[in-house]
Homo-oligomer: A and B are copies of this chain.
């Protein structure tokens, strides 16, 4: 998928764009980021969600349980270090740096992945647990997805994701997702942000060969919050009992169901700027 040429790149004070697909935020833009996340956190708080700070890396063995390497190899970023012998480090240290590119010498075994989605940590943390009732969790994490091209705030190698997650029975999770969708819709309407909810699928590698993709086509489980008809700035996801099964989490005598509401913070920031302009004075109040 190529960039949409009809969409002019954002130039806004407080945004520094790195060609590696990352942004630095400051000033009003950073405040907008904090205020938006504050709204989402307040929703999590109303659910009684337990707040976590999760690690940047997730164990490859956890992602392997989810067939992640089969489904999304094109998106993955690995944290790689050099094999730690003095001779190997010296070989690396003494080479002249090539223009912009680093030539690695021997590398250490790779056992981790840069987190691709904030909520994966929760299923791993809850492994083997039996839940006495539905539970709600929240975190904001930097997530990493390698893409074919990057666009400031809209498509980044590294980006911030706020998630509110529910684990429970199928009915408990469905009720959560319905209520949260209504809450997001009401908020968007109130601040004047044009948002539509559309069924979607995850960006599988070789989708036509992946039974998970075919299943998502048959029974939609992902609803995106689509801004201006073109950009998903968040999503609501019904995982069925997929994570409960993979991590042996139980609820009411069966594998737990789960679902999450996920907000791409930079995309929300970008959407506000696109809709209301670059001046903070023109942005809507986000007070609840």
Contacts and interface: CB of A to CB of B under 8 A. Distances in A.
Given A60-B97, A60-B100, A111-B100, A50 B26 contact: yes
Interface stretch (A141-149, A169-177, A230-238): A141-149
This chain: how many copies in the complex? 2
A5 interface: no
A93 B79 contact: no
A54 B24 contact: yes
A76 interface: yes
A277 interface: no
19 contacts: A20-B55, A20-B59, A22-B55, A24-B55, A26-B53, A30-B53, A56-B142, A56-B158, A60-B101, A61-B99, A69-B102, A73-B93, A74-B82, A78-B79, A79-B114, A81-B146, A84-B148, A101-B109, A108-B146
A78 B80 contact: yes
Given A60-B101, A93-B73, A111 B81 contact: no
Given A24-B54, A60-B101, 9 more contacts: A18-B57, A23-B55, A25-B52, A30-B51, A60-B100, A73-B93, A77-B79, A78-B79, A102-B111
Interface of A: 16, 18, 20, 22-27, 30, 33, 50-57, 59-61, 64, 69-71, 73-74, 76-82, 84, 86, 89-90, 92-94, 97, 99-104, 108-114, 121, 125, 142, 144, 146, 148, 157-158, 205-206
